[in-house]
């Protein structure tokens, strides 16, 4: 398993290939459906005007995401009422929901990749080649184990979106992931889909 420290350089991303196992250490942040739409509408496509704390949050998260990762995660967090936050469960959520937004978000914030489960589509794969970046597959069903990788909750933004949809800034150590989409245009998810389609066609044709 290769150990990689965040922030991640473009050169390090280029060294990674699908199938590589990685342990991530450093600072990253979570973001799901509501966060992606908020980023796109307010700061990228600019179809809505910033309001409330939008600009303040934007300035705070820009340096967090640069050369770092966005984690598709809806965590279970204790201590929300007191501000003594502790991640109880931190499993990945299905990434493909963010496909309409992800490439633009990655480019805008100069991210080095995404963590999630299930893989993503052609637009995200293209962005991985251009930036460069990678898609890191986290283990579904291992929410408690992954929560053990969270050393500290550094902060939270947009808690008004709800606990699962907020932006949680985390310090992680030895976060276990597998590269399933790399910066060289390869996607394990595409390969599995193609192989499955061939088998299905063979079964139907037999």
Using DSSP's 3-state secondary structure scheme, residue 79 falls into coil
Structure tokens at 178: 């597998």
**From 36, 72, 137, 189, active-site residue:** 36
Find the helix packing angle between 54-65 and 99-109, rounded to 10°.
80
The span from the CA of 31 to the CA of 46, in Å, is 19
Active-site residue, 17 included: no
Cα–Cα separations (whole angstroms), residue 123 to 18, 119, 175: 17, 12, 26
The whole-angstrom distance between residue 108's C-alpha and the CA centroid of its chain comes to: 14
The residues that are catalytic are 36
């Amino acid at each position: 398993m290769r150990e990689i420290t965040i922030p991640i350089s473009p050169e390090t991303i280029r060294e990674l290939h699908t199938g590589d196992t990685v342990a991530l250490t450093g600072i990253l942040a979570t973001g799901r459906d509501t966060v992606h739409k908020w980023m796109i509408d307010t700061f990228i496509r600019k179809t809505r005007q910033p309001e409330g704390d939008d600009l303040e949050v934007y300035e705070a998260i820009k340096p967090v995401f640069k050369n770092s990762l966005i984690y598709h995660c809806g965590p279970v967090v204790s201590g929300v009422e007191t501000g003594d936050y502790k991640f109880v469960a931190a499993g990945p959520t299905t990434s493909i929901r963010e496909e309409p937004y992800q490439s633009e978000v990655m480019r805008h914030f100069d991210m080095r990749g995404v963590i999630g489960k299930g893989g993503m589509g052609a637009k995200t794969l293209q962005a991985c080649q251009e930036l460069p970046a990678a898609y890191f597959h986290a283990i579904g069903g291992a929410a408690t184990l992954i929560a053990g990788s969270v050393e500290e909750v550094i902060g939270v933004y947009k808690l008004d979106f709800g606990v699962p949809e907020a932006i949680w800034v985390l310090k992680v150590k030895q976060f276990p992931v597998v590269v399933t989409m790399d910066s060289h245009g390869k996607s394990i998810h595409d390969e599995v889909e193609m192989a499955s389609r061939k088998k299905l066609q063979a079964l139907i044709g037999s």
